[in-house]
A and B are shown apart, each in its own frame.
Chain A
Amino acid sequence: MKIRLLNYELELLPEKGVYWSQHHTLFVADTHFGKEATFRFHNIPVPEGSTNGTLRAITRMVRQTNAESLVILGDMFHARSSLSTKTHQQLLGFRQQHPQLKIKLVLGNHDRPLGTLPASWEVDVVPMGEFADGLAIGHEPDNIPKHVALMLCGHIHPAVRLISVVDRINRLPCFWWHKKRLILPAIGGFTGCSTIKPTPTDGVWVIAEGKVIAYPRRK
């Protein structure tokens, strides 16, 4: 779904990414790669597969949009123990599939204790702040630089419940435009979400069965 926020034309994708065609850039948030490995490392049996699932979703979006660069808005990895051999291989596989793709990462709270990432992944760690044309990127919505018109960020894993007199739909992940921020849903295949309470001036777009749909509200 194409939307226009201020002067920015953005496309909200049902696989939970945002594409900015003017700069050929795909944004995703909270991939939490290797989270299942962290759980297994602590002897909690979570099966292999969600990291690959997330990577496949990104690949589909990159191919569909012909994006030249990918920006990860923080929490790329879950914890230090997420960087298992398997995770390493999976990311290397992704890199080899997209040799030309520029990958940028704004560090999130989960990434910060990790140290330097392997050079072979060619991930460029960038500071939060302006990305282009006055649009900023970051992880936590709280830290918004002054004089910024719009910031893309993550961290919250937003979702909404839909309730009407006759029907009720349980949590659906959503994009949330709230006070100069566009907060992306978490793309990671093994991540939860938290229910938000949007105000009437916010913009909310839910993801439902492979479609992006504007959140119903009084007109």
Chain B
Amino acid sequence: MDTVGPSAPETPSQSVDRFFRSTGWKPFRFQRSTWRAYRDGSSGLVHSATGTGKTLAVWMGPILKWLTENRDRDKWQPKRPPGLRVLWITPLRALAGDTEASLRQPIDHLGLPWRLESRTGDSKASAKARQLKRLPTALITTPESLSLMLTHEKLLEQFSQLEGVIVDEWHELLGTKRGIQTELALSRLRKLNPALRTWGLSATLGNLEQAKQALVGSEPNHLVRVIEGYSKKRLQLESIIPARIESFPWSGHIGTRMVPQVVEKIESVSSTLVFANTRSQTEIWYQQLLKHRPDWAGRIALHHGSLDSSVRLWVEKELRNGTLRAVVCTSSLDLGVDYTAVDLVIQIGSPKGAARLLQRAGRSGHQPEATSQLAFVPTNALELMELAAAQDAIRAGHLEARPLLQKPLDVLAQHLVTIAIGGGFHSPALLQEVRKTQAYESLTDLEWQWVLDFVVRGGDSLDAYPEFKRVEHKDDFYQITQRRVRTTHRMNIGTIVSDAAMHVKYMKGKTLGTAEESFLSRLKPGEKFLFAGRLVEMVCVRDNVAYVKRSKGTPDTVPRWMGGRMPLSSELSSALRQKLHEASHKKLVGREMKALKSLLEIQQRWSIIPRADQFLIEQIKTRTGYQIFLFPFEGRLVHEGLAALIAYRISRNCKTTFSMACNDYGIVLQSPSKTNIDPKTAMDWFSTENLMADILESMNCTEMAKRQFRQVARIAGLIQQGLPGSRKNARQLQASSNLFFDVFCEYDPSNLLLEQSRREVLDQQLEASRMHSAMERINQSQIMLEEPPQVTPLAFPLLVDKLRERVSSETLADRIARMQKQLESAAADIEK
């Protein structure tokens, strides 16, 4: 029993030790170093594997400091908690509740008179209103809610009292526009209090130094530390390999024939997390598991971002209590939260990155000394190769870096409006503050002026934007006085773009979750679909709510949610090329590669297995046209850029139309007529001469920039998206981002937002720098032209993929005439 004797008052560090004893642990050395650094006024980044005590490492810093300053317990006044001292930023509002619970433990145990609260989009209006008057001692919030708070001028005084701000799961935010939004807010907070400590928690990344820079800004005014936590976590990886690889599909996404093996795995332990890569797949796998083991009803659950929060909270609670056998989830359970009960992680389908695989594995054995266990379930044969490559990358310590974004003007425009509402700004002062973030360090005066013009009068061309007035200014002081502008902006803060979502509800009123309007509006009444782990049928859509009822039988469809497919990381891509290189020399290392033996033999027989210094091109005619398969093995994003570029370069020389598809291994170009290829012409496709100009041209031939503009338009406030169900007004203000894109191209082509979406396509979507180095590598390779007798194992997945982009040098009239001809000959075939 721990008691505090009156004669020997407990020192702050004794109090902390007492708390740790109550949890059954002793503080780690890295935790103590973090506290000391915090005490000394430093900022920093703590990185370590999941479940090794990062949270307490940073959280005890502020607590210790306060204990040191308030040694006399008799003066503690629980009724009058101290004002705001610590801000805790979490990337997911769903995590706020759990974070609050774990931060509360030491407060309660030590009896601190602190008030700890959350403020997110989920918080009650009454609580938010109360907080606006007086913020709690420690506040847990999200990047969006933090930006929103910055629009309240009266909070600035309290923010200037902040002692520390802690950003949880910084690796999740890094390299995204939400991360930039956070950087801007942090810079604002540091302006209000130059002594503010900034701390971040991160998983281990390939670019920790950059991660630190982005967190603390380009001119930190105190010492910045990178602290490595407990990293020696043991890991056990294994693949569940189908007994007969020959009968295993070469391609496809579902792969539910592995269900029996997965069931067996789940049975072998007491609690499992099953990760699938998309929400639709979680719905399918959940059903399949239940079908196999009906007795598991109520003991397995489903968790993904489109489910109603009450469902998600329930699942999280049961998972913590250890009452669930298994939860099928998406990345929604990738973050935060200690699920100590989980002993096994099953990954269905490729994890696409070594760091991601490691992090997911860390969800099991969520204690510093436990072993993480991960079982990998391939959904098609070739994915086995990806796991083999991932294991190599992990062993070699080649973890992915999170590439950073450079000065996105849409996020800056949104921030300027935020600050203009929250008290207004002087242009030079705010510019200085903005340039202190890593993202905008190199912002030019011209770019700054353009963004100012954009928020003040719509754009830089003087006569193009009459009537527009968002931010008003007098000399160089900028502010917003119109109430209407303030309300709209507050409703639209944030950088997450989602498709118009609709609530899905039972007729009786219980909300199941949300799905995309584009999916729901296509359903006819009576059509059955899987949703939230149940089979439901559509009854009707009313007031932007889809009403459904329970149904029986088999589903007609599974909802599709937008959401990017993760591309294979460059670390994994290069490991994959190495695996193939070994295979080309008949060297098959590991169970995964050995299982692929027969498949690789087919590839070798019909075509070749490319060595690391070879570049494979396969040409074949199928029912749908002439196919050219190219295999750079560079990841999907790079392939999209390469596909457009090569299609553009070929079509420049002959009139043709290409339809393209890409996956992580290669590219297919399909055309109605044969393209003659020899190694010399193929070499020219990869020439780095005139590369930038050709890339830009090929991008204009496709819809890539237009698609990217969707996000830019939303963040810059062109498209206003309310919450689901609250879009009834403003019908007349609805225009698609495509329409905006066309109108800007025609009437204000120099608009920097257009420029930005092109740059984003180049930098992030196509990863132009990776594309460049890929081309240089291919240039050094020997071109291997093959005309296989049948579609090869490597090519097959590409052939069944949906063709998305097109590049054409023919007129539309010619293309339509060809369609007409095909229809006629098809009709003639039927008549025969």
Contacts and interface: CB of A to CB of B under 8 A. Distances in A.
Given A48-B463, A190-B735, A218 B468 contact: no
Contacts of B466: 37, 40, 48, 84-86
A142 interface: no
Interface in A77-93: 78-79, 84-86
A25 interface: no
Contact of A45 (B465, B657, B817): B465
Contacts of B815: 162, 167, 169
Interface string B816-832: 11111011101100000
A3 interface: no
Interface string A189-201: 1111000000000
A49 B720 contact: no
Contacts of B672: 166-167
Interface in A25-54: 36-50, 53
A162 B816 contact: yes
B465 A48 contact: yes
A47 B657 contact: no
Interface string B654-668: 000101000000000
Interface in B232-270: none
A109 B380 CA distance: 53
B806 A36 contact: no
Nearest to A82: B732
B459 interface: yes
A6 interface: no
Interface in A106-154: 110
Given A45-B458, A209-B812, A218-B824, 16 more contacts: A47-B459, A47-B461, A47-B465, A49-B747, A86-B466, A110-B732, A164-B818, A165-B623, A166-B625, A167-B672, A189-B746, A190-B735, A213-B816, A216-B819, A216-B823, A218-B827
Contacts of B470: 43, 45
25 contacts: A37-B467, A43-B485, A45-B457, A45-B465, A46-B465, A47-B743, A47-B748, A48-B466, A49-B746, A50-B746, A78-B732, A79-B732, A165-B822, A166-B624, A166-B659, A166-B671, A167-B657, A167-B818, A172-B812, A190-B735, A192-B735, A208-B813, A213-B812, A216-B816, A218-B826
Interface in B780-832: 803, 806, 811-813, 815-820, 822-824, 826-827
B621 to A, nearest CB: 12
Contacts, number: 144
B220 to A, nearest CB: 36
B656 to A, nearest CB: 11
A138 B110 CA distance: 76
B454 A45 contact: yes
Nearest to B417: A43
Given A42-B733, A47-B465, A189 B826 contact: no
Given A38-B733, A39-B733, A206 B816 contact: yes
The residue among A37, A42, A208, A213 with the most chain B CB atoms within 10 A of its own CB is A42
Contact of B739 (A43, A190, A219): A190
Interface string B718-750: 101000000000101101101110011011100
A60 interface: no
Category for how many chain A residues contact B: 35 or more
A44 B823 contact: no
A44 B730 CA distance: 12
B816 A47 contact: no
B822 A164 contact: yes
A161 B293 CA distance: 44
Contacts of A216: 816-817, 819-820, 823
A63 interface: no
Contacts of A79: 732
Contacts of A165: 623-625, 822
Contacts of B454: 45
Given A84-B466, A166-B822, A206-B816, A46 B625 contact: no
B22 interface: no
Given A39-B735, A40-B458, A48 B747 contact: yes
Contacts of A37: 466-467
Nearest to B738: A192
A4 interface: no
Contact of B717 (A44, A47, A85, A162): A44
B733 A169 contact: no
| A37, A47, A50, A164: most-surrounded residue (chain B CB, <10 A) | A47
Interface in B438-486: 454, 457-459, 461, 463-470, 484-485
A196 B811 CA distance: 23
A36 B743 contact: yes
Nearest to B626: A166
Contacts of B733: 38-39, 42, 44
A12 to B, nearest CB: 15
A217 B823 contact: yes
A168 B816 contact: no
A47 B819 contact: no
B644 to A, nearest CB: 15
Contacts of A47: 458-459, 461, 464-465, 743-744, 747-748, 751
A192 B744 CA distance: 14
B488 interface: yes
Nearest to B821: A216
Contacts of B744: 47
Contacts of B718: 44-46
Contacts of B827: 218-219
B350 interface: no
Nearest to A37: B467
A192 B735 CA distance: 7
Contacts of A164: 818-819, 822-823
A98 interface: no
A192 B820 CA distance: 27
B607 interface: no
B670 interface: yes
A80 to B, nearest CB: 10
B819 A167 contact: yes
A211 B813 contact: yes
Contacts of B748: 47, 49
A219 B743 contact: no
B703 to A, nearest CB: 8
Interface string A162-182: 101111111010000000000
